[in-house]
Amino acid sequence: MFDLSTPSISIRGFFHGTDLPRRFDPRVGDIKLFGKIWNSSGCQLTFSDPADLFSLLLKFFWFINLFVVYLCTKNLHVGRPKGLNIKTLHEYNKLHTTKVKMISGVYITALYLIKETAKFFISTEVWAYCCSKFKVKKPATLSVNIPIIEDEKTIEFLKEHCWSDWVEKEKDDTDIKETLEFLSKVFPNKQPIYFYELDSLIGLYIQGSLISFDENGNQESLSEHDIDRIKYYNHKYVRFVDDPEIKRLREKWTSEKNNGLREKYLTEYSKKESDFVYQNHNLFNVFLEIGKNSVCFPVGFTHGTADWFKEKYGKVCGYAHVGEIFFVVTNENIFFNIKRHY
């Protein structure tokens, strides 16, 4: 006889493949390893093979393991962050920056909206992939240190490829209006300009495709995948180069009438031009300058991106009002784009 001293549990098909009743009480019973199991209700559970009992025990311990993981993550707040309450966003009326180290060994700047409590300075809830919620115990000093891009080639690139009229066109969009308000708290005298896919260029840096370091701080070599990514973004911003061979391949592609051959010639032309751009018009240093001076600014927006969640479940989805403003700053401008969660 033995006593597990546990309450009765409902298995309801959890131990699939074993001949168990819908409900049983395992607190008291006789166990025979290679024969029969009797529980306190007198119900006999038979196993035709010792493997059945092993399977039952394995699933039981698997269940216990999941329960322990749940308790650990619950207590340590591991997993998805909490939802942002847009109604209390006005309480986060201070600013603070920190340097955040990425797994690639590089750093970016995180700018936070901060609320002061009796004991702490706390940021809003953060859903960004490159920074997490900030909290520090008082007394502490808050400060804002935003890097400024001064490299002329990088500034020229930003001005050439930005969407200079987008802010004016979308001035009635709530995300744009609120973004301008957030940025004016940091740089009230700089002109904000929208730069499409700026977060993708910053991601190129964050993920270590431009530069990365091992755990000892030694710079690592770029992989073929990293080089392919750099070529891809180079080719996005430098197209239709004035080179005789590239022009010949472009003409070959555009003049072909056969769809099969036309697709083949397009692939041939694109690869050749991408390689040519990488070798002769490489924007590596520009991308690196943008990455090193990039800022992630987790904020909240009044527009909800998951209204369907409230309609279906009666509550606001955690990511509905969160978002990030990714930006870089020059002496005159703030180049930004907005990242929302869906």
Q: What is the pLDDT, as a whole number, of residue 310?
A: 79
Q: What is the pLDDT, as a whole number, of residue 152?
A: 97
d(CA 224, CA 221): 10
Question: In this structure, is residue 318 part of a structural domain?
Answer: yes
Question: In this structure, is residue 97 part of a structural domain?
Answer: yes
* 12 confidence band (pLDDT: 50, 70, 90): very low
Question: In this structure, is residue 31 part of a structural domain?
Answer: yes
Question: In this structure, is residue 252 part of a structural domain?
Answer: no
The last residue of one of the domains, among 31, 50, 76, is 76
Regarding whether 150 and 48 lie in a shared domain, the answer is no
Q: Give the pairing of strands 36-39 and 322-329.
A: unpaired
- The conformation of residue 213, written as its DSSP 8-state character, comes to B
Regarding whether 303 and 230 lie in a shared domain, the answer is yes
Question: In this structure, is residue 259 part of a structural domain?
Answer: no
**Could you tell me which residue, 6 or 313, shows the higher pLDDT?**
313
Regarding whether 299 and 160 lie in a shared domain, the answer is yes
* 77 confidence band (pLDDT: 50, 70, 90): very low
Helix, strand or coil, per DSSP, at residue 296: strand
Regarding whether 30 and 102 lie in a shared domain, the answer is no
Q: What is the pLDDT, as a whole number, of residue 312?
A: 82
∠ at Cα 187 (183, 192), nearest 5°?
55
Regarding whether 63 and 159 lie in a shared domain, the answer is no
Q: What's the one-letter identity of residue 300?
A: G
Question: Does the N-terminal peptide bond of residue 7 adopt cis geometry, omega within 30 degrees of 0?
Answer: no
* pLDDT, tens digit (0-9, with 9 covering 90-100), for 255-296: 999 999 999 999 998 899 999 988 988 999 999 999 999 999
Q: If you average pLDDT over every residue of the chain, what do you get?
A: 83
Q: How many C-beta neighbours within 10 Å does residue 291 have?
A: 22
Q: What is the pLDDT, as a whole number, of residue 82?
A: 82
Q: What is the pLDDT, as a whole number, of residue 338?
A: 97
* pLDDT, tens digit (0-9, with 9 covering 90-100), for 293-321: 999 999 999 998 988 887 788 888 888 99
∠ at Cα 90 (323, 194), nearest 5°?
40
Question: In this structure, is residue 265 part of a structural domain?
Answer: no
Regarding whether 111 and 15 lie in a shared domain, the answer is no
**Could you tell me which residue, 136 or 40, shows the higher pLDDT?**
136
Q: What is the pLDDT, as a whole number, of residue 3?
A: 39
* pLDDT, tens digit (0-9, with 9 covering 90-100), for 14-27: 333 333 333 333 33
Regarding whether 85 and 8 lie in a shared domain, the answer is no
The tokens of 89 are what? 């966003």
Q: What total number of domains does the chain contain? A: 2
Regarding whether 308 and 178 lie in a shared domain, the answer is yes
For residue 26, what are the domain limits? 2-76
Would you say residue 87 has pLDDT above 60? yes
The tokens of 124 are what? 């809003």
d(CA 116, CA 201): 34
- On whether the CB atoms of residues 230 and 204 are closer than 8 A, the answer is yes
Question: In this structure, is residue 297 part of a structural domain?
Answer: yes
The last residue of one of the domains, among 76, 103, 131, is 76
Would you say residue 202 has pLDDT above 60? yes
Q: What is the pLDDT, as a whole number, of residue 313?
A: 83
Regarding whether 67 and 106 lie in a shared domain, the answer is no
The tokens of 102 are what? 């990425």
* pLDDT, tens digit (0-9, with 9 covering 90-100), for 144-161: 999 999 999 999 999 999
- The conformation of residue 283, written as its DSSP 8-state character, comes to -
- The conformation of residue 133, written as its DSSP 8-state character, comes to -
Regarding whether 99 and 166 lie in a shared domain, the answer is yes
* 35 confidence band (pLDDT: 50, 70, 90): very low
Q: What is the pLDDT, as a whole number, of residue 176?
A: 97
* 226 confidence band (pLDDT: 50, 70, 90): very high
The last residue of one of the domains, among 76, 91, 119, is 76
* 184 confidence band (pLDDT: 50, 70, 90): very high
d(CA 311, CA 215): 47
Regarding whether 334 and 230 lie in a shared domain, the answer is yes
Regarding whether 50 and 107 lie in a shared domain, the answer is no
